[in-house]
Amino acid sequence: MTEQSWPKIFTDKEDFIKQYRLACEREFSKSHEELGPQERYYAMASLIAGKAKALRGDTLKRANDKGEKTVYYFSIEFLLGPLLDNYLLNFGIRDIVKAACKDLGMQLDDIERCESDPGLGNGGLGRLAACFLDSMAALGINGNGNGMRYRYGLFRQAIEGGRQVEKMDNWLEHGFPWETRRNESAVLIRFGGQVVRHEENGRYWFTQEGGELVKAVPYDVPIVGYGAKKVNNLRLWSAEPAEENFDLDAFNAGDYAKAMKFRSDVEAISQILYPNDAGEHGRLLRLKQEYLFVSAGLQTILRDYKKKYGDDAWEDLGKHVSIHTNDTHPAMCGPELMRLLVDEHGVDFDLAFKIAQQTISYTNHTIMPEALEKWPISTFRDLLPRTYMFIEEIDRRYREGFSHTDPNWQEEFKNTAILWDGQIRMANLSVIFANSVNGVSALHTGILEATTLHDFYKLTPEKFNNKTNGISHRRFLGNANPKYAKLVCDVLGEGWLGDANKLAELEKYEDDPSFLEQFEKAKEWDKQRLADYIKETTGTVLDTSMVFDVQVKRFHAYKRQLLNVFKILDIYNRLLADPSFKPRPTAFIFSGKAAQSYTFAKEVIRLINSVADVINNDKRVNDVIRVAFVPNFAVSSAQLIYPAAEISEQISWAGSEASGTSNMKLMMNGAITLGTYDGANVEIAKLVGDENIKIFGLRTEEVDALRASGNYWAYDLLKKDPDRLGRIVNQLKDGTFARLSGNFDSIYDELMVGNDHDLVLKDFYSYVDAWEELTQAYGDRAKWNRAAVHNTARSGYFSSDRTIREYAHDIWHIDA
Ligand SMILES: *Cc1c(COP(=O)(O)O)cnc(C)c1O
Q: Tell me whether residue 67 is exposed, middle or buried, using C-beta atoms within 10 angstroms of its C-beta: 0 to 12, 13 to 18, 19 or more.
A: exposed
Residue 31 CA to ligand 1 centre (angstroms): 39
Residue 479 CA to ligand 1 centre (angstroms): 16
**What local confidence, expressed as pLDDT, does residue 147 receive?**
98
Residue 597 CA to ligand 1 centre (angstroms): 20
Tens of pLDDT, residue by residue over 531-544, are 999 999 999 999 99
Residue 147 CB partners (closer than 8 Å, separation 6+): 74, 75, 76, 77, 78, 120, 129, 234, 235, 236, 237, 293
Tens of pLDDT, residue by residue over 467-516, are 999 999 999 999 999 999 999 999 999 999 999 999 999 999 999 999 99
Could you identify the atom of ligand 1 that is nearest to the CA of residue 659? 8
Could you identify the atom of ligand 1 that is nearest to the CA of residue 635? 13
Alpha carbons 221 and 178: distance in angstroms, whole number: 6
The CA-CA-CA angle for residues 130, 594, 426, to 5°, reads 60
Residue 628 CA to ligand 1 centre (angstroms): 18
Residue 79 CA to ligand 1 centre (angstroms): 10
Could you identify the atom of ligand 1 that is nearest to the CA of residue 124? 4
Could you identify the atom of ligand 1 that is nearest to the CA of residue 664? 8
Tens of pLDDT, residue by residue over 581-595, are 999 999 999 999 999
Residue 405 CB partners (closer than 8 Å, separation 6+): none
Residue 177 CB partners (closer than 8 Å, separation 6+): 42, 45, 46, 49
Asked whether the domain spanning 476-701+760-804 has the same topology as the one spanning 147-309, the reply is yes
Could you identify the atom of ligand 1 that is nearest to the CA of residue 665? 1
Residue 281 CB partners (closer than 8 Å, separation 6+): 373, 374
The residue whose CA has the least distance to atom 1 of ligand 1 is 662
Measured from CB, residues less than 6 Å from any atom of ligand 1 are 123-124, 127, 553-554, 633-635, 638, 660-662, 665
Could you identify the atom of ligand 1 that is nearest to the CA of residue 79? 13
Confidence of residue 442 (pLDDT cuts 50, 70, 90): very high
The residue whose CA has the least distance to atom 4 of ligand 1 is 124
Residue 754 CB partners (closer than 8 Å, separation 6+): none
- CATH dotted code for 147-309: 3.40.50.2000
Alpha carbons 31 and 45: distance in angstroms, whole number: 16
Tens of pLDDT, residue by residue over 547-578, are 999 999 999 999 999 999 999 999 999 999 99
Tens of pLDDT, residue by residue over 299-316, are 999 999 999 999 999 999
With a pLDDT cut of 70, the percent of the chain lying above it is: 98
**What local confidence, expressed as pLDDT, does residue 278 receive?**
63
Confidence of residue 280 (pLDDT cuts 50, 70, 90): low
Q: Would you please indicate which residues are annotated as catalytic (active-site) residues? A: 365, 553-554, 559, 661, 665
| 114-128: b (≥16 Cβ within 10 Å) or e | bbbbbbbbbbbbbbb
Alpha carbons 389 and 93: distance in angstroms, whole number: 53
CATH for 476-701+760-804 (3.30.1330.10, 3.40.50.150, 3.40.50.2000, 3.40.50.970)? 3.40.50.2000
Under a CB-based contact definition with an 8 Å cutoff, are residues 382 and 194 in contact?
no
Confidence of residue 1 (pLDDT cuts 50, 70, 90): very low
Whether 742 shows a pLDDT value over 70: the answer reads yes
Alpha carbons 313 and 317: distance in angstroms, whole number: 7
Task: Using alpha carbons, select from 124, 683, 123, 656 the residue that is nearest to residue 367.
Answer: 656
**What local confidence, expressed as pLDDT, does residue 451 receive?**
93
Whether 243 shows a pLDDT value over 90: the answer reads no
**What local confidence, expressed as pLDDT, does residue 5 receive?**
66
Confidence of residue 281 (pLDDT cuts 50, 70, 90): low
Whether 403 shows a pLDDT value over 90: the answer reads no
Tens of pLDDT, residue by residue over 154-213, are 999 999 999 999 999 999 999 999 999 999 999 999 999 999 999 998 888 999 999 999
Confidence of residue 258 (pLDDT cuts 50, 70, 90): confident
Q: Mean of the pLDDT values across residues 215-219?
A: 98
Distances in whole angstroms, Cα of residue 438 to Cα of each of 183, 353, 524: 36, 21, 40
Pocket test for ligand 1, best of 662, 681, 803 (most atoms within 8 A of CB): 662
Alpha carbons 371 and 520: distance in angstroms, whole number: 42
Domain ranges of the chain: 1-67+83-115, 147-309, 315-467, 476-701+760-804
Task: Using alpha carbons, select from 288, 216, 237, 315 the residue that is nearest to residue 78.
Answer: 237
Pocket test for ligand 1, best of 127, 649, 651 (most atoms within 8 A of CB): 127
Q: Mean of the pLDDT values across residues 120-148?
A: 97
| 3-class SS of residue 25 | helix
Residue 125 CA to ligand 1 centre (angstroms): 8
**What local confidence, expressed as pLDDT, does residue 246 receive?**
66
**What local confidence, expressed as pLDDT, does residue 245 receive?**
66
Under a CB-based contact definition with an 8 Å cutoff, are residues 123 and 276 in contact?
yes
Residue 366 CA to ligand 1 centre (angstroms): 15
Residues β-bridged to residue 628: 589
Under a CB-based contact definition with an 8 Å cutoff, are residues 693 and 673 in contact?
yes
Pocket test for ligand 1, best of 117, 550, 553 (most atoms within 8 A of CB): 553
Confidence of residue 529 (pLDDT cuts 50, 70, 90): very high
Under a CB-based contact definition with an 8 Å cutoff, are residues 591 and 629 in contact?
yes
**What local confidence, expressed as pLDDT, does residue 282 receive?**
58
pTM above 0.85, yes or no: yes
Tens of pLDDT, residue by residue over 408-435, are 889 999 999 999 999 999 999 999 999 9
Residue 662 CA to ligand 1 centre (angstroms): 5
